A and B are shown apart, each in its own frame.
Chain A
Amino acid sequence: MNIRNKMLRIIRTKSSWVGAQKRIKNPLILLLFLIATLFVAYSCRPQFHQGEAIYLKQCSNCHGVDGEGLRSLYPPLKDADYLFENSQYLPCIIRYGIKDTIVVEGKVYAMPMTGFPKISEVDMTNLVNYILAEFTSKNVVLGLSEVKNQLEQCN
């Protein structure tokens, strides 16, 4: 407790603030640099706008705009173990849906998922890449041929 108070006092004293100001000659430059770094980092992050548009139209009704799901009715996608572990089956799941009961993050989901057989392979690729980038920590970008290949192996 005593040490904490001392540290707080040191932080709060004017002298240390002046010292900091001297060290960083112009805090505005530092701030601008920080903003620029953040901006570059953000725009370098792969984004899948076409996939996002399909997700918002076809998937977000049930799974939520942020992949949060809906109570015990519809499972979440965001950071969900089921999605992570079954990511290679994602194109098949989207095309044919799920009839079985599944367990996601320890919760049982029994409502069948409708399949979307009409989604083209190109749209599927965009959608899968969006879902994986947005809701999983998998750092992969699938090509059209890979998605086609996965679709051929659906059972």
Chain B
Amino acid sequence: MSLKINSLFVLILLSSFALLVACKQDKPLPVLGNKKKVDGVEVDHTIPDFSFTNQLGNTVTNSDFEDKIYVADFFFTTCPTICPTVMSQMLRIYDKYEDNPQVRLLSHTLDPKIDSIGVLKNYGENLEIEAPKWHLVTGPKDDIHNIVDDYMNIVIEDPQAPGGINHTGKIILVDKDRKIRSFADGTDPEEVSQLLLDIDKLLNEYSK
């Protein structure tokens, strides 16, 4: 009897050790997005230069995310469909990394006509979040709609859609080199749970 328990114990110990070793050798997060050929050399997809204005009226550019990793998404304040759900998932990320200066959040409005700086300020206050931890940005509509593609999202202006804009709710994880390393469907809490793990993993890369 005791021998049986002993051998079982050893088995559990061994398998958990094997699991631990497997975890240690876990692959790093992949670099996502289409590679481009520049002068015959393949280069990773990176987020291009941008300049937007946040809820406090401050200019936000790539340099605000220098030496930081960040998650990005697209929304508009009058969006009655997926946006609130995605926002509640972004809040999970905000709350988890509130005290970690290495992590930031960036939400772009797809409807700059309605979402002025004042509207975004109000929205941020009601969401109980603060810049620069979480930038809610607006800018020229074309600039924002053009960068949607770089963040692997889709936006289509559609008068038939609720709010007049049809768009996807992906949350994108960008590393310190502007490369996309993971993403989640912001309407799926389980996918976002995985994204939270991926953020930890990415942070780990930089702590080595």
Counting CB contacts under 8 A, is A50 at the interface?
no
A72 touches B126 (CB 8 A): yes
B166 within 8 Å of A (CB atoms): no
Chain B min CB distance to A98 (Å): 13
- Whether B80 and A70, one on each chain, are in contact in the complex, defined by CB atoms closer than 8 angstroms, is no
Residue of B nearest to A57 (CB): B81
Classify chain B: how many residues form its interface, as a range. Answer: 10 to 19
Cross-chain contact B88 with A114 (CB below 8 angstroms): no
| B52 at the binding interface (Cβ < 8 Å) | no
Measured between beta carbons, the chain B residues less than 8 angstroms from A61 are 80-85
A61-B85, A70-B88, A71-B91 known; A111 vs B126 contact (CB < 8 Å): yes
| Chain A CB within 10 Å, residue with most, of B81, B126, B162 | B126
| CA A25 to CA B81, docked complex, whole Å | 57
**Are B126 and A73 in contact, with the CB atoms below 8 A?**
yes
Cβ of A62 under 8 Å from chain B = yes
User: How many whole Å from B84's CB to the nearest CB in chain A?
Assistant: 5
Q: Binding site of B, secondary structure by majority: helix, strand, loop or mixed?
A: helix
**B19 an interface residue at 8 Å Cβ cutoff?**
no
Residues of the B chain whose Cβ atoms lie less than 8 Å from the Cβ of A70:
84, 87-88, 91, 127
Q: In the complex, what's the smallest C-beta–C-beta distance from A118 to chain B, in angstroms?
A: 11
CB pair A71 B127 closer than 8 Å: yes
Q: Does A130 contact B (CB under 8 A)?
A: no
| Contact A73 B123, CB 8 Å, known A61-B80, A62-B80, A114-B80 | yes
Task: Tell me, rounded to whole Å, the shortest Cβ–Cβ distance linking A74 to chain B.
Answer: 6
Query: On chain A, which size bracket covers the interface?
Result: 10 to 19
In the complex the two chains form, what is the Cα distance from A140 to B85 in whole Å? 30
Measured CB to CB, the closest approach of chain A to B78, in angstroms, equals: 8
Q: Decide yes or no: A64 and B128 within 8 Å by CB, A73-B123, A114-B80 being known contacts.
A: no
Contact of A71 among B77, B82, B85, B128 (CB under 8 A): B128
A74's partner among B82, B84, B91 (CB-CB below 8 A) is B84
Q: Which residues of A contact B122 (CB under 8 A)?
A: 110
Q: Which residue of B lies closest to A62 (CB)?
A: B84
Does residue B64 face the partner (Cβ distance < 8 Å to A)? no
Q: Chain A contacts of B44 at CB under 8 A?
A: none
Q: Is B125 an interface residue (CB 8 A)?
A: yes
Q: Which residues on A sit within 8 Å (CB–CB) of B85?
A: 60-61
Between-chain CB contacts (< 8 Å), 10 pairs = A60-B85, A61-B81, A61-B83, A61-B85, A64-B88, A70-B87, A72-B125, A72-B128, A111-B126, A114-B80
Residues of B within 8 A of A (CB): 77, 80-85, 87-88, 91, 122-123, 125-128, 162
Top 5 closest A-B pairs, CB basis? A72-B126, A73-B126, A62-B84, A71-B128, A114-B80
Q: Chain A interface (Cβ within 8 Å of chain B)? A: 60-62, 64, 70-74, 110-111, 114
> 19 extra interchain contacts, Cβ-Cβ under 8 A, other than A70-B88, A71-B91, A73-B127?
A61-B81, A61-B83, A61-B85, A64-B88, A70-B84, A70-B87, A70-B91, A71-B126, A71-B127, A71-B128, A72-B125, A73-B84, A73-B87, A73-B123, A73-B126, A74-B84, A111-B77, A114-B80, A114-B162
